[in-house]
Structure 1
Amino acid sequence: MMKAKYINPFTDFGFKKIFGEEASKPLLIDFLKSLLPESNIVDLTFKDKDQMGRTEEDRKAIYDIYCENNLGEKIIVELQKAKQNYFKDRTVYYSTFPIQEQAERGEWNYKLKYVYCVGILDFKFEEKVTNGEGEVIHTVQLKDQNNKVFYEKLKFVYLEMPHFVKSETDLANRLDKWLYFIKHLEDFQSIPEVFKDEVFIQAFEKAEIAKYSEAERHDYEQSLKVFRDNKAVYEYAVNTAFDEGKVEGKLEGKLEGKLERSMEVAKSAKQMGLSTADIIKLTGLSESEINKL
């Protein structure tokens, strides 16, 4: 098998290298403008995601990217590599922190800035199918009983990457190009003609493994190992649970909310030597639940 020329963007290292560094800001802006055109992004400021929350327990809710645009609107971007229990609950919980931090001391009229929560999902989030194809983009807002938006300043956008199946010749817009880039980056050996513009050329340069220092290549290899281990553990646990009859019905759509499945994943992950932090992100279980296994 030919050795990869570019990094896997679904690894923690790869995602941060392409979108989460100061030098990567033009790439993140271009991606978010294609996904959230209504946000009018001109510039972004990375915020300290480790300082979110008022208590030590709250601060454990760490996102991959937390930034603020030129209008003061808050944007969370989270890369989720495997399905876990209470995933929807977790994303709603995350959205509360950029809301709470807007509180002002003294007299305050409670006027809030927009909050966007973007989830890039490397798994099938929903089984809903439209026109024979799974939906890639899920946009969620608070609505009333008449299906009218009740509060327009909070939006969740989930990108269900396994359902993105367009070929290079089918790419219709900027967002299509970004989704194609994210999904297939690790497979490219050269820059496809469709990406021959300044922003994407910069993205490919950021992603080229040969340009990294020895320390960066080591960090990437470690991140890639964790990514592959997590994938293997998840698939093993799902298949084991299915074979033993612990999960009934269709696999997809039936697993979410199954504590038993998460316990199986966590047990397998511990046996493979994954860290507690990685197991928490993989399964959604708490540290105390994992320590009891």
Structure 2
Amino acid sequence: MIKQPEYTTFIDAFVDFSFKRLFATEESKPILIGLLNHLFRGRKYITAINYGKNEYPGEITTEGGAVFDVICTDADGTKFIIEIQRGYQQNFKDRALFYTSRAISEQVTKGNRREWGYKLTEVYLVAFLEDFNLPDSPKVEYLQDICLANRYTGKIFCEKLSFMFIEMINFVKEPIELHTELDRWLYSLKHLSEFKERPEYLNGPEFDQLFNLARYANLTKEERDMYNTSLKHKWDNKNVMDFAVAQAEQKGERKKAVDMALEMLADHEPVEKIMRYTKLSLEEIEGL
């Protein structure tokens, strides 16, 4: 088990234990309500939420289910799926569609399909992407707000299904640039474990609750063990991912060197020159 650094005052928001502590407890309801309202920017106004089950099994035993980090429902029945994704996952967009489809199909019971009027409640996926970008997304934007719309006119087709992807790697604002409440929220979540004390510019009742729940000293011994285990799991996964990226980069560099060596050999360049330009050994060049 890793040892929590003595200078750390607040927990890392983006590990499993912390994410659920900050967004999926009775004490954290004001935090989640505030964050959702800032994300929707007046398009929706949420006053109360109820947490729901976070596991949706497949309709048949051989069909995969879905397990969400946090799912809640507001007073109008709108469902919000709150997810954290720390590293890139293949077919991530497909996974997002699969998750939301489970929350939609679950709205009718198996024995009531014929009588069901197909009136859906809204389903929103709010996904924090901590350390990667969506494929083909602009690197200067940190909030992708996706809805069903007409491809040619841009007119919204249906509001019942929507996706918000918050790409934290793109959120690079400094404290002086925090002009909106959403800016302050994202900054606090991204830098939470770096604060030695609560900054004065992050004030208000919602932030009172956030920093109280996030204070490491307020955790019980059991909670600290759970947090440390969760944090270790996060860094283990990051080390594996970093190693895989480094390996891929090395393979890419070697391929470039080999391609260059082959071209130089075809042009009958001296081996010494090929070694100097490609950094390949004599044995490697002779083996080509």
Measured against the shorter chain, the TM-score band is 0.7 to 0.9
* In 1, Cα distance between equivalents of 2:231 and 2:30: 25
What does residue 250 of structure 2 align with?
A: 243
Contact 2:7 2:196 (8 Å CA) reproduced: no
1:123 is matched with 131
Is contact 1:127–1:134 with CA below 8 Å preserved after alignment? no
Q: Distance in 2 between matches of 1:62 and 1:9?
A: 20
Could you tell me how far apart the structure 2 residues matched to 1:212 and 1:60 are? 32
Shift of 1:149: 1.5
Q: Distance in 1 between matches of 2:230 and 2:134?
A: 27
Q: Distance in 2 between matches of 1:199 and 1:248?
A: 53
CA contact (8 A) 2:56 2:66 kept: no
Quote the Cα distance in structure 1 between the aligned partners of 2:62 and 2:49.
28
Task: Say if 2:166 is the partner of 1:159.
Answer: yes
Query: CA offsets per residue over residues 100-153 of structure 1, 9 Å max, x none?
Result: 1112525222111111011100123147676xx611001111222322221221
1:10 is the counterpart of 2:14: yes
Report the alpha carbon displacement of residue 52 of structure 1 after superposing the two structures with TM. 4.7
- Ranges in structure 1 where 5+ consecutive residues have no aligned partner: 250-293
Amino acid at match of 1:19: F
Q: Which amino acid aligns with 2:121?
A: K
Question: One-letter code of the match for 1:210?
Answer: A
SS in 1 for 2:197: coil
Name the count of aligned residue pairs.
247
Q: Which moved more, 1:226-235 or 1:105-114?
A: 105-114
Q: Is the Cα contact below 8 Å between 1:142 and 1:149 reproduced in 2?
A: yes
**Mapping for residues 272-283 of structure 1, pairs under 5 Å:** none
Whole-Å separation in 2 of the counterparts to 1:246 and 1:84: 24
Q: Kindly indicate whether residue 30 of structure 2 is the aligned counterpart of residue 26 of structure 1.
A: yes
Q: Give 1:74's match in structure 2, choosing from 70, 75, 79.
A: 79
- C-alpha deviation, 1:76, in angstroms: 0.4
CA deviations 1:198-246 (Å, max 9, x no partner) are 1101110100111111111111100000011111111111111221139
**Aligned partner letter, 1:28:** L
TM-score (norm 2): 0.80
Q: Quick check: 1:241–1:247 contact (8 Å CA) kept in 2?
A: no
User: 1:167: Cα distance to partner?
Assistant: 1.0
The higher radius of gyration belongs to 2
Query: So what's the TM-score if we normalise by structure 1?
Result: 0.79
* Residue matched to 1:199: 206
1:73 and 1:67 map into 2 onto residues whose CA distance is 8
Contact between 2:129 and 2:166, CA under 8 Å: does it hold in 1? yes
Cα distance in 2 between the residues matched to 1:17 and 1:215: 13
- TM superposition shift of 1:57: 5.5
Whole-Å separation in 1 of the counterparts to 2:22 and 2:187: 14
When the two chains are superposed, the root-mean-square deviation of aligned CA atoms in Å is: 2.2
Aligned pair partner of 2:53 in 44, 48, 51: 48
2:161 partner SS: strand
Tell me the residue number matched to 1:175. Answer: 182
> Aligned AA for 1:134?
V
